[in-house]
Chains A and B, each alone.
Chain A
Amino acid sequence: MDTLANLALGFGVALSPFTLMLAVIGCFLGTIIGALPGLGPSNGVAILIPITFTLGLDATSALVLMTSVYYGAMYGGRISSILLNIPGDEPALMTTLDGYPMAKAGRAGDALVLSGVASFVGALLATIGLMFLAPLLARIAYLFGPSEYFALYLLAFCTLGGIASKNQAKAAIASCIGLGIAMIGLDNFSGQPRLTFGSLHLMDGVDFLVAIVGLFAVAEVFFFIESHGKNTSIGVKFERVTVPVRDIIASAWTMLRASVVGFIAGVLPGAGASLGSFLAYMSEKSIAGPKGGFGEGAPRGVAAPEAGNNAAAGGALVPMLTLGVPGSGTTAVLLALLMTLNITPGPTLFAEKPDVVWGLIASLLIANFVLLAMNVPLVRLFVRVLQVPPWVLLPGVTMISFVGIYSLSGSYFDLLMMIGFGVLGWALRKLDVPTVPIILGILLGNHMEDSLRRAMVISGGDWMHLFSSPIAVGLWVAAILGFVAPMFLRPLLRRPQAITD
């Protein structure tokens, strides 16, 4: 088979000691970057790109290093989600929902091992999928026009507000706050600044990382200050690491299904890992039903988003390599790296530069095993980093939040905004308004608005254009059901308390 012959070529490239070393270094750096709150795969890769130029790496080595960092960060993101309830990066958001309750219940070690295995399954399946399906799957992107994308984003909001929260109204308000914040900046269709009050700092809009770190990390610090260090929610017990074989077996199907869902979400341009982990979590939650205990520390609630976001990370490489269309923020950064390395992604890349593409794929397979080793037996090492008393940890969180955000933009303005978001997060949690939809709104708001306006331009203002394809109609039906159905089902099911943030 062609694929196997190519893979052999790839391993020939990837198994050279130097390349292997780069993969291990990349995985290690990536895991740490992912674990630190506020530093995610996209800024991790962005920060490290200068190294590849300083070291004078050739195209293959540079790509191997950077994609190892990328995969590593996707793994590492779960560690602080589970132990601190602070997502290390934005796709790890969903992992907090069950990972943190599980850790509070004294099963932090189990949650970490389980999520490590789930990450491995997701990433491995996605890499295999990338290998065999890349040329085929890339065609799916062609089916998605503006109206289909709009319906897809709508689905994300509706299911989040409908299934994931216990109060639709509060979730809807939170989504609207997020969408409102997303409107800040240059209007893509007229070039006019909106809600910037003449400030150049607001021209580019609000960086979602600033919002995430503010709403999660800084708000956590405020809570800590308020309680004078008592009753703080941070600092879970973490005793020993055993392999929770039963949980892993019980979650096997969850991991497989979540990987497929995540992979597909990753392949769609612009959707990326956040949507992958979100859809994986939601679909598993509805399959499990109210007895699944999702939101209270269900092992499957930990496995699903981790398999989903790692699969999406692999999936996002498909459109990037085959079409040059990045599937996520991080792959957009990787795409920039490719261009600088004189590699033009496109349908012919596989034929023209087989050593680069297959060397990359082989390295991803190797990186996966390295990461499994780092994140399961050696997970204590990374946990030690985070396992310190709150009075040490929280100043540390504050410091890293400030350093992380400042290193992104070098702008004091972003720091002020981050503190503002911290206050907002604190107030909203007091009011029991979930903060996750706000993040989703900031993250997807611009894409959603752009899709809608593009659809309106194409149709000349005819709203029916939004329902003009079977894919769009299907997504609309799913979105409406996802929002409305839980209202009627709730009294019947007598749901347990769901997540608030």
Chain B
Amino acid sequence: MKRRHFGALLAGAVTALTAPIAFGTAAQAAECIAPANPGGGWDFTCRQIGKIMYDIGVVDEPIQVTNMAGGGGGLAFSHVVNERNDDPELIVAASQATATRLAQNAYGGATADQVRFVGAIGADPGVLVVAADSPYKTLGDLVEAVKKDPSAITFAGGSAVGGFDHLKVLMVLKKAGFDDIRSVKYIGLDGGADAITQVIGGHATVMTGDISEIVGFLKSGEVRALAVMTEERVPGFEQIPTAREQGFDVVAVNWRGLYIPKGVSDEVFNSWAERLKAVAESKEWQEAMRANGLAPFTKVGADFQNWVNQVIADTETLSREIGVIQ
């Protein structure tokens, strides 16, 4: 009997603790789906954006956050498309990974035009990093070395083959006129930190990842960043040159943003875009970005939708070339 009692106690405790987050809002409140477990980037997006929207008063009720992990975001995507297609009070966290997976048909046949992308309000800029004792001093050195013998350089990143970390490298090489991209060696590890460890240990040559993943290693002087893939140098990291200024015009950032169901009116779409814009301009969001290694990157509304479409089209082309999709 004691055992049952305890089980009930635990279940009760858990319910009580999660209740304010899961059920504490009125029925009319908006909902933000984070298509992953608590703790990740999508979860961060939902919680921060949801909190700030309420704090600055653009929504009347606190936004309820639901975690719906599965299929790398695919489960949430199909849930939105099939069951919530006209819900005006629903927003879903998205990032570059959402776009990459849609482009590579990783959501079981779902396509990007089944939802509406509202906007992005921050981004983790892509970087290429080598060990401090590496002979490669500039992005140009590295690109020349790959052109000469692709098998001599191993790239390591935190995403799977065909993932965004892999594609970033290929975008730079294509801009440099190197077309044999299937010969580029890339290994995917379980995260940026794992990848950088492999580079410092000499098992791989170059780490490709996001700037937030390399902060600690940069400070300790164990690695050297060759290039950051933004339009301008990133505030706080002014010492890292952009790929563009080194002659390789590539912008690759892991943006953080939202999508909403397809079936809502333009009015609803625009109002979410406006709210998102208000968050982007808020002091709270500036602080959250600084704390989490994000760089400013604001695109909302139709402008963002077009940009995402272009990103997806580019990703699809590249993925086809490396054989990730047929």
Contacts and interface: CB of A to CB of B under 8 A. Distances in A.
Interface string B1-19: 1111011001100100110
Contacts of A47: 14, 18
Interface in A174-224: 186-191, 198, 200-201, 203-204
Interface residues of B, number: 63
Contacts of B72: 186, 203-204
A400 B217 contact: no
A149 to B, nearest CB: 10
Nearest to A32: B10
Contact of B215 (A50, A346, A403): A346
A29 to B, nearest CB: 8
A54 B324 contact: no
Interface residues of A, number: 66
A457 interface: yes
A393 B217 contact: no
A443 B222 CA distance: 32
Given A200-B78, A385-B2, A190 B18 contact: no
Interface string A31-54: 011001000000000111111011
Interface stretch (A121-129, A254-262, A335-343): A335-343
B69 to A, nearest CB: 7
A385 B3 contact: yes
Interface in A222-243: none
Contacts of B187: 146, 453-454, 457-458
Nearest to A386: B3
Interface stretch (A137-145, A278-286, A300-308): A137-145
Contacts of B190: 270, 450
Interface in B165-211: 185-191, 193-194, 197-198, 200-204
Contact of A141 (B74, B201, B292): B201
A152 to B, nearest CB: 14
A342 B92 CA distance: 24
A392 B3 CA distance: 8
Contacts of B106: 186, 191
A48 B203 contact: no
Interface string A72-96: 0000000000000000000000000
B311 to A, nearest CB: 17
B75 A200 contact: yes
A188 B222 CA distance: 28
Interface string B149-169: 001001000001111000000
Contacts of B215: 344, 346
Contacts of B198: 145-146
A190 B18 CA distance: 37
A346 B204 contact: no
List the 4 shortest-distance A-B pairs measured between CB atoms, nearest first: A346-B216, A336-B39, A145-B203, A142-B201
20 contacts: A48-B17, A49-B39, A50-B21, A186-B106, A188-B188, A189-B188, A191-B162, A203-B70, A203-B74, A204-B69, A323-B197, A336-B39, A348-B220, A349-B216, A385-B6, A409-B69, A453-B187, A458-B154, A458-B185, A460-B151
